[in-house]
Structure 1
Amino acid sequence: MTTLPQISLAKLAADATPQQERERLRLACEEYGFFYLEHGIPKEHIAEAIQASRRFFALPQSTKERFGHSAQDVYPATARGYSPLLGEMLHPVAGPDQKEMFDLGIENERDRRPFGGCTLLPDDSLAPGFARSLLALQAVVVTEVVPKLGMALADLLDMEEGWFRRHFNPPTVLQRVIRYPSTGGTAGKHTDNGFFTLLLQEELPTPSLQVWFGGRWVAAPSLPDTLVVNLGDMLQALSDDRFKSTPHQVVHTGPAERISLPFFIYPDIDARLTSRNGMKTFSAAEVMLRNFDSIWETGNGAGRARELQ
């Protein structure tokens, strides 16, 4: 592999999806578990969110920690808010990650289910544009990208008509902003445990994301007007292991800090899903809560991290 496959969201969402694009997507899912997606999100939305996030992370540590996990009125508390450098550990052998981050989700004060509710976010007087730009970006991703890609994947799985809308109405979204410090940012090797992840990266010359492919780590640089998609453990299970949830890590050695904007996409938290052939059945809530317990409570890492030596 010299580069990941590149897929057009517009072609996937066309009334008559070109067979060639569908087959490119199938190959990406079965062989790589990663691909670039030409997305159509306005560049200014992304740039505004990155700059507002950089301003937030530049605030005094004591100010950022006012929005930490202990201040969040959600369950689990670790699903929302600020986490400092060395606050999360994705792989137990690698140790705590050299990154700081802020998590939010679909904001709904009436939703008291796991991973629902509202995030305590800094207002504009403290972090200008932070909440507004992130939520605006979330709205575009959730309405314009997630359904189109999700329905294309459900079609490849040969799920019945309406399957994606039934189980992702609404989706559970874990939106994250990550700051990797210069010359030493890390995220330990892991798999994502959801349906799929959408990653918007700064277009910096030094690649940081690394994908495990062919027995070695392969760099996945940023490409203009694309986001990186990786499949999660839930989707691998729903495909009866035809699709790949591929291990990945971040090693940031560039001279400047890096801002990344991932969206972890899961089914509705109440969903109970069964693969097309009936070989795998699982509860979305149980899978998500077990993963959070592994990361934040038992220290066993994220996704299938324990399988990765």
Structure 2
Amino acid sequence: MTTLPKISLSKLRDDATRRDERQRLQMACQEYGFFYLVEHGIPGEQIAQAIEASRRFFALPQSVKERYGHAFQDVYPTAARGYSPLHGEMLHPEAGFDPKEVFDLGIENEGDRRPFSGRTRLPDEALAPGFARNLLALQATVLAGIVPQIGDALADLIGMEEAWFQRHFSTPTLGQRVIRYPARGGTCAKHTDHGFFTLLLQEELPLRSLQVWFRGRWMPVPSLPDSLVVNLGDLLQVLSDGRFKSTPHQVVHSGPTDRISLPFFIYPDIDARLTSRQGQQVSVVEMMLRNVESIWVTGSGAGRARELQ
């Protein structure tokens, strides 16, 4: 294999093609845990505007960016939102702290005091033109136009009852990240994602910075025009009783320019308690809090990083 499978969101929506496309999706989930999503419907201009606004934010003076760091966020846990500087996060203990900058946000629910909920302290339009506006607009497009279709298909393929996805994701929990990988050396250490699934929007750069662990080696994944990358998380692997793969991956960016990456980590309602077909039980809030502790407190890494040598 030289590239990931391609799944068409348009075909998943179409009654005439849905069945065959879901069979292809099932193969991709069982064999790779990663796939390209094509014909997804997100305007390229909307993605480009979010990337450019993010680039402008990261170009601000360090002292300005740090005013939006974890310590200034009014959510629990504070590490779930806001700015993290270069070498601020450790995804694998052997690799140490990653040379990347991050800004985290989520669904903006003022007054919601549950974990991973509430409002993000974001820079205003005068300080960071288009940053909050474009990222929240992109969030709305992703949540309305992509997440329900992919999520419902995945739930059906792992054998959940009808309307399972709608019931447990009617108020989803979202981790939306903006990442800057510096030129000639930005990295994100090997890890797995721990949610239901992840959508990755990225710049179409010629270098293949994203790498996926496949059949005992790291496989470079190019950024294809007009496509997103989707990968499965540890929660979906558990709920599928191991049939679907949460595949390790990493980023090694050696290009001459910075790389902006826009991942969306999709989780169920924070209060959900879920059971697989074979009886494995998961508390969403407990799982998410354990992962934050592993990254930010114990330094054990993200997802199943401890299993990756």
Q: Answer whether TM exceeds 0.5 for this pair.
A: yes
* Match in the other structure for 1:138: 139
* Match in the other structure for 1:28: 28
The alignment partner of 1:91 has SS state of coil
* Match in the other structure for 1:69: 70
Deviation of the 1:14 alpha carbon: 2.0
* Match in the other structure for 2:291: 291
* Match in the other structure for 2:218: 217
Distance, in Å, in 1 between the alignment partners of 2:21 and 2:118 is 38
Distance, in Å, in 2 between the alignment partners of 1:238 and 1:230 is 15
Q: In the TM superposition, what are the counterparts of 1:101-112 in structure 2 within 5 Å?
A: 101-112=102-113
Deviation of the 1:34 alpha carbon: 0.3
Which region of structure 1 is more displaced relative to structure 2, 126-135 or 13-22? 13-22
Distance, in Å, in 2 between the alignment partners of 1:35 and 1:254 is 23
Deviation of the 1:16 alpha carbon: 4.3
* Match in the other structure for 2:44: 43
Distance, in Å, in 1 between the alignment partners of 2:19 and 2:46 is 31
CA deviations over 1:175-211 (Å, ceiling 9, x no partner): 0000000000000000000000000010000111000
Structure 2 unmatched ranges of 5 or more? none
Q: In the TM superposition, what are the counterparts of 1:62-211 in structure 2 within 5 Å?
A: 62-211=63-212
Distance, in Å, in 1 between the alignment partners of 2:91 and 2:21 is 34
Deviation of the 1:17 alpha carbon: 4.2
Q: CA RMSD in A?
A: 0.7
* Match in the other structure for 1:266: 267
Deviation of the 1:289 alpha carbon: 0.3
Distance, in Å, in 2 between the alignment partners of 1:15 and 1:170 is 26
CA deviations over 1:56-115 (Å, ceiling 9, x no partner): 000000000000000000000000000000000000000100100100000011211000
CA deviations over 1:230-288 (Å, ceiling 9, x no partner): 0000000000000000000000001110000000000000000001232x101000000
Q: Counterpart amino acid of 1:26?
A: Q
Distance, in Å, in 2 between the alignment partners of 1:18 and 1:181 is 40
Deviation of the 1:170 alpha carbon: 1.1
Length, aligned pairs only: 308
Tell me if structure 2 keeps the 8 A contact 1:107–1:117. Answer: yes
Tell me if structure 2 keeps the 8 A contact 1:107–1:119. Answer: yes
Deviation of the 1:19 alpha carbon: 2.6
Deviation of the 1:165 alpha carbon: 0.4
Identity percentage of aligned residues: 74
* Match in the other structure for 2:240: 239
Which region of structure 1 is more displaced relative to structure 2, 11-20 or 189-198? 11-20
Deviation of the 1:125 alpha carbon: 0.4
Deviation of the 1:10 alpha carbon: 1.2
Structure 1 runs (4+) greater than 4 angstroms displaced: none
The alignment partner of 2:146 has SS state of helix
Deviation of the 1:225 alpha carbon: 1.1
Structure 1 unmatched ranges of 5 or more? none
Q: Counterpart amino acid of 2:288?
A: M
Tell me if structure 2 keeps the 8 A contact 1:40–1:225. Answer: no
